[in-house]
Structure 1
Amino acid sequence: MTLPELSVKRKITVLMIILIVAFFGVLALSRLGLDMMPELEYPAVSVITTYEGVASEEIENLLTEPIEEVVGSVENVKHIYSTSQEGLSAVIVEFEWGVNLDFAAQDVRDKLSWITDYLPDDADSSLVVKFSTSDYPILYYGVTGMEDTRVLRTFLDDNVKPKIDRIEGVASVYIMGGLEREINVFVDRDRLTAHNLTIEALIARLAHENVNVSGGHVVRGSSEYLVRTMGEYEDVETISDTIIAMIGDTPVYVRDVAVVKDTFKEIRNRSRTNHRPSVILMVMKQAGTNTVNVTNRIKATLDEMKPRMPEDLALFPVMDQSHIIKKVTQNTGRNAMAGAVMAIVMVFFFLWNWRPTTIIAFAVPLSAITTAIGLYAFDYTLNVMTLGGLALGVGMLVDNAVVVIENIFRHQEEGEAPDRAAAEGAQEVGMAITASTLTTISVFLPMALAS
């Protein structure tokens, strides 16, 4: 029994199968992510190493060249690009397409571990970063207000960031810009020399004193108490009163050789929003989540927090990916729907019969909904590419439907019963429309297999 004959003779069974598939299609459609473009993982990793206060030439000699040599021995490396600038070394390792980037990044980390001991001690640990389109921020705010950007940044760190971090779908929150607190110890070289001390001794003493030490535990009755020695500095005065050394019976304090000031880190860049100093708030989403839904949750959370925020604090959206995504996907979906409606109208115009036109009108949305099951199963999202493919599929569906319906219509005009006409008409052109569909698929097959 062929598929057309089965569909005609087992109408109820086929109808139930269609309804079940449609139900799961709607369920999958409701869980699909919504993005601008499909998630793309470019086969490259970046090795970022910072070494503050060092000139670009020394960065190249001390960091960039050793890293280039060691990562060049990783398997499947295609190209290596590097940039050396003041305080920063960036080495980009490009791999062949098709390489498992997780394994490749781990291989790079393993190779870097070979030279860790040979890199400058003051340089920060190398950071290995993979490139992915999902790593771009989905929401970008410029925040102004409060006394200064240091107070503003502290407020965002303590109150806003923890709330957003807990939202479903949020991967991380970054706060950038503004003034950052820094305790500076300005040493008087002449006084240090007069006390027969060195700068290394001062640094070592401050590092030794600024620690909390665990002292084990004490058991008293049925209770156990943890013992800790609290030694971390809490204010500038405590740092100034730290004893560096003893000269005879006379202690030498930090205040005797230096001035301690509570200041800010050196400003190397500035951020301004609406001509006012600001702090940047960026939000990253988890891979595969719906960008629009995540952004809506973030905005709802910020709206709930507004009554508890300072009155002069203002959040200005600098970049909102959800707005762009909604505009692009709505336009793409609207165009696909308009094309489907026009195709159905043209079918009615040529056949001049409402029954076959109604069948095609139901087949188009049913097929589109069913496609959501495949998208969800293969972890795809609704984006410009998938919606464009869906529009192409709708066009092919209408073409094939017109051929089948017209052939069935011809059998009916020859006097055959509707069931017989449906079975024979569909079976006669089944191989032809299958070959036509496979021909269209074969055109795009090389793109899928390209490397």
Structure 2
Amino acid sequence: MNIAKYSMERKTTSWMFFLVLLIGGLVALTQLGRLEDPKFTIKQAMVITPYSGASAQQVEEEVTYRLENAIQELSYVDHVRSISKPGLSQITVEMKSIYRAEHLRQIWDELRRKINDAKTQLPLGTGEPIIRDDFADVYGVMMAITGPDYSYKDIEHYADFLRRELVLIDGVGKVMLAGEQQEQVVVEVSRSRLANFGIPPSRIAGLLQTQNA
């Protein structure tokens, strides 16, 4: 078949085919993702439980094993991996690949309920289980706030105000702040005067710690 001859003899069909390709290309172009870090779905969650003072074997037998049993009762689970360290239990849960992003919110809620119910079986001294399911969060936009004539506190207040406003924008899932300045109070003590009064520096440190408490 001579495609060039066919196109010349049937100009209407050729133009229609060209227009279909052109319109389809424009529609596809408008729907392409433009994020530097595109959103993707990770079907994994981590359950981290502290158990201070316990050996790795105690953590495995008294915490990890019981939480694993509760997690495996969920029908969504594909497989479970765990690491038991001295004082810490870490369980990684992966859901079956058939579940999409719209199903995961409900799945994570059910996972939290299972963990919450299983807490009653954990020994005394076990910390609160921490469930992390936000590994797929990506940052589409990063903004820096500067102000040479403003104090760090003023900039922090303004950044917090922006965070609260940006969260209200449609399509924004999460806004996080980074780089806040840690507040410090520096106490300078005259060692010569302390020596005159017979007060050791450790006593001043103890008084400050008591005051902070």
State the alpha-carbon separation in 2 of the partners of residues 73 and 113 from structure 1. 14
TM-score (structure 1 length as normaliser): 0.30
Q: CA deviation at 1:92?
A: 1.0
Partner in structure 1 of residue 203 of structure 2:
none
Aligned residue identity for 2:99 = N
CA drift at 1:48: 4.2
Contact kept, 8 Å, 2:79 with 2:94, in 1: the verdict is yes
Counterpart residue number, 1:160: 162
Deviations 1:191-227 (A, max 9, x none): xxxxxxxxxxxxxxxxxxxxxxxxxxxxxxxxxxxxx
Task: Give, in whole Å, the separation in 1 of the partners of 2:119 and 2:135.
Answer: 23
User: 1:41 and 1:70 mapped to 2: Cα distance?
Assistant: 24
Structure 1 residues 147 and 33: alpha-carbon distance in aligned structure 2, compared to 1, 3 A threshold:
same
Paired letter, 2:79: K
In the TM superposition, 1:138-157 aligns within 5 A as 138-140=140-142, 147-148=151-152, 152-157=155-160
Q: Higher strand proportion, which one?
A: 1
- The CA distance in 1 between the partners of 2:65 and 2:2, in whole Å, is 66
- Evaluate the alpha carbon distance shift between residue 124 and residue 138 of structure 1 in structure 2; reply closer, same or farther with a 3 A threshold: farther
Larger radius of gyration: 1
Residue 78 of structure 2: aligned partner: 77
How far apart are residue 44 of structure 1 and its match?
2.2
| One-letter amino acid of the counterpart of residue 114, structure 2 | K
When residues 125 and 163 of structure 1 are mapped into structure 2, their CA distance, relative to the original with a 3 A threshold, is same
In 1, the alpha carbon distance for the partners of 2:2 and 2:164 equals 57
In structure 1, list runs of 5 or more residues that go unmatched: 181-258, 264-451
| TM-score where L is the length of structure 2 | 0.55
Task: Decide whether the 8 Å contact of 1:47 with 1:91 is kept in 2.
Answer: yes
Contact 1:165 1:171 in 2 (8 A): yes
Q: Write the mapping of 1:391-430 to structure 2, written as runs, cut at 5 A.
A: none
CA contact (8 A) 2:145 2:159 kept: no
* Paired AA for residue 27 in structure 1: V
Amino acid at match of 2:21: V
Give SS of 2:176's match.
strand
Equivalent position of 1:100 in the other structure: 99
Distance apart, 1:67 and its partner CA? 1.9
Given the alignment, which residue of 137, 140, 157 partners 2:139?
137
Q: 48, 52, 57: which one pairs with 2:54?
A: 57
Aligned counterparts of 1:147 and 1:56: Cα–Cα separation in 2: 43
Contact 2:47–2:91 (CA under 8 A) maintained in structure 1: yes
Q: What is the number of residues matched between the two proteins?
A: 174
**2:67 corresponds to:** 67
Aligned with 1:15: secondary structure? helix
2:175 aligned residue = 173
> The residue matched to 1:127 in structure 2 has which SS?
strand
Higher relative helix content:
1
CA distance in 2, matches of 1:85, 1:156: 40
CA distance in 1 between partners of 2:38 and 2:159 (Å): 32
Q: Which residue of 2 aligns with 1:379?
A: none
Residue 25 of structure 1 and its aligned partner are, at CA, apart by 1.8
Does the C-alpha gap of structure 1 residues 91 and 79 become closer, same or farther in structure 2, counting only changes over 3 Å?
Answer: closer
Corresponding position of 2:13: 13
The unaligned stretches of length 5 or more in structure 2 are 184-209
Q: Percent identity?
A: 20
C-alpha deviation, 1:156, in angstroms: 1.9
Q: Residue type of the partner of 1:82?
A: I
Amino acid aligned to 1:55: S
Superposed displacement of residue 80, structure 1: 0.9
1:137-190 deviation digits (Å, cap 9, x = unpaired): 344567677545x66434321x2212332445432101245448xxxxxxxxxx
